[in-house]
């Protein structure tokens, strides 16, 4: 091998390794976005822009209504999941998995507001990180529209 190329490689390869490690470190602390973090952010934005959390949305569409007591219970389950030390993400996911359609989220939002004078979407976004909101989005997205 040419002596000049060998000398260049001695400097280039360690520099590339240092850049690679630095890039990975910046990704791990969130300074550089990964493909996964971009997808999670996009899902969070979709939850933020969703009408399904509007407490009055369910009144605008024909659908299978939740029983009022069931709606109150789901609202209570979510409030309990958000309360105390830390959030019980499993309880949040479980509650959303019980729904038949996306519009029922609005009914729960309405019950949540009536019972606690709090916005369900705001509490959800406050209590969960982006990857957890992305899981909620995936659950919601799997539900029927109406």
Q: Would you give per-residue pLDDT tens digits along the chain (146 residues)?
A: 567 777 777 877 888 888 888 888 887 787 888 888 889 889 999 888 888 888 888 888 877 788 899 999 999 999 999 998 899 999 999 999 999 999 999 999 999 999 999 999 999 999 999 999 999 999 999 999 87
**What's the confidence (pLDDT) of residue 57?**
85
Kindly report whether the global pTM for this prediction surpasses the value 0.75. no
- CA 127 to CA 129: how far, in whole Å? 7
How many residues are listed for the chain in this entry? Answer: 146
**Which one, of 102, 130, 119, 121, lies nearest residue 44 by Cα?**
130
Question: Tokens standing for 51?
Answer: 């009408």
Q: What is the pLDDT of residue 79?
A: 97
Residue with tokens 């539900």: 143
What are phi and psi for residue 143, nearest 5 degrees? Answer: -80, 155
């Amino acid at each position: 091998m040419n002596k000049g190329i060998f000398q260049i490689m001695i400097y280039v390869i360690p520099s590339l390794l240092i850049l690679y490690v630095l890039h990975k470190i910046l990704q791990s602390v969130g300074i550089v976005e990964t493909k996964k973090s971009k997808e999670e952010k996009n899902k969070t934005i979709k939850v933020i822009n969703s009408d399904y959390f509007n407490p009055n949305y369910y009144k605008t569409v024909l659908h299978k209504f939740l029983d009022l007591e069931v709606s109150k219970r789901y609202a209570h389950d979510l409030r309990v999941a958000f309360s105390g030390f830390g959030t019980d993400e499993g309880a949040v996911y479980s509650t959303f998995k019980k729904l038949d359609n996306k519009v029922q989220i609005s009914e729960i939002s309405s019950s949540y507001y009536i019972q606690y004078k709090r916005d369900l979407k705001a509490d959800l976004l406050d209590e969960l990180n982006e990857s957890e909101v992305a899981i909620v989005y995936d659950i919601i997205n799997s539900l029927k529209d109406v």
